[in-house]
Amino acid sequence: MMINVSSISEYVYCPIKVYLRQSEGCNIQTPAMLRGRLVHEVRRGFEELLKRNLWSVNEKMNAKTIFEILMEDVHEFVEKTLIKYCENNDMDPESAKTISRDLKDDLELESWLMAVKVWKIVSTNQKSGSDIADMFFPPVLLEFSIENLEMKLRGKIDRIEIMDGYYYPVEVKSGLPPIKGVWKSDALQIAAYSLLMEEEFNREVSVGFVDYMGACQRRPVFMDVNLRENLLNVLEEMRMMFHQGAVPEMVQSPKKCAKCEYSDFCEYAC
Ligand code: SF4
């Protein structure tokens, strides 16, 4: 059975969730999942707008003007995407409104941070808007589907950034990072993408990144021996679970169960 990389984080949260989804065919779409997909869609378009808008920046502008230029068409784009998304998915208008407000706040904050950086660069280095666009947005492969039959692993990488011939997997998360480093589940996800990319592109992938949009922070994940071993152990446990129906030992957590979409019918729920 092929393992989907996205189910690794779910497995780390609670193995039973993956078991129910994969073996019992339960597939519940939670509001959080719908929200996550929408946020991804908006962010893809936002990045395109930023790239386009950066071309209009010049060295005579101050940070506020640059911010206004970066935000050109962004609010309209968010609204349109949201309306289209609500029509195609069953999302209630109140949740859509909250998501829209949060998204606009986040995108404004990011644009402000970027405007200040861009202003610093154009005012001191006389770079053009197109140079800056290249500087901030390296060549990228978006939503890259990847699989390896031998490893029985597949996934869709949010971004693969390419710099000086090196390939970097990037996972975009809407939430907050831990105080230090990245969440264990995110590290394992990057590790799995790195393995798949090494096979696909025939080159070493020694580092990847997690973009925590809730804090506008990018955190690195280094592919060391421990992380690789950890990933291989988790994959092995998952395979055992699927093939032998062996549910691994786990400590039940009332906190996790309370937030879990399977709590109504999961026999392990507490
Ligand atoms: S209800 Fe609890 S035990 Fe069951 S899948 Fe969810 S988190 Fe796991």
* Domain extent listing, the chain: 31-136, 138-235
Q: Are strands 207-212 and 166-173 parallel, antiparallel or unpaired?
A: parallel
pLDDT recorded at residue 100? 83
Residues 20 and 81 sit within 8 Å (Cβ to Cβ): no
**Structure-model confidence comparison of residues 146 and 269, the more confident one:** 146
44 CB under 6 A from ligand 1?
no
Spell out the CATH class of 138-235. alpha beta
What's the 252 CA to ligand 1 centre distance in angstroms? Answer: 8
Of ligand 1's listed atoms, the one at least distance from the Cα of 260 is 6
CA–CA separation, 44 and 48 (whole Å): 7
| Residues 224-246, mean pLDDT to the nearest whole number | 90
Q: Does 171 score more than 80 pLDDT?
A: yes
**Structure-model confidence comparison of residues 55 and 39, the more confident one:** 55
Per-residue pLDDT of 63-96, as tens digits, reads 999 999 999 999 999 989 888 887 776 677 777 7
CA–CA separation, 236 and 246 (whole Å): 12
14 CB under 6 A from ligand 1?
yes
Cα 9 to Cα 89, 91, 108: the distances in Å are 24, 25, 29
Per-residue pLDDT of 121-169, as tens digits, reads 988 887 888 888 888 888 899 899 999 999 999 999 999 999 888 999 9
pLDDT recorded at residue 230? 96
Which range (33-42, 51-60, 106-115, 254-263) has the least confidence?
33-42
Q: Does 222 score more than 90 pLDDT?
A: yes
pLDDT recorded at residue 8? 93
Specify burial of residue 77 (Cβ count, 10 A radius: 0-12, 13-18, 19+): middle
Q: Does 29 score more than 90 pLDDT?
A: no
The residue count for the chain: 270
What's the 267 CA to ligand 1 centre distance in angstroms? Answer: 8
Of ligand 1's listed atoms, the one at least distance from the Cα of 17 is 5
18 CB under 6 A from ligand 1?
no
Of ligand 1's listed atoms, the one at least distance from the Cα of 250 is 3
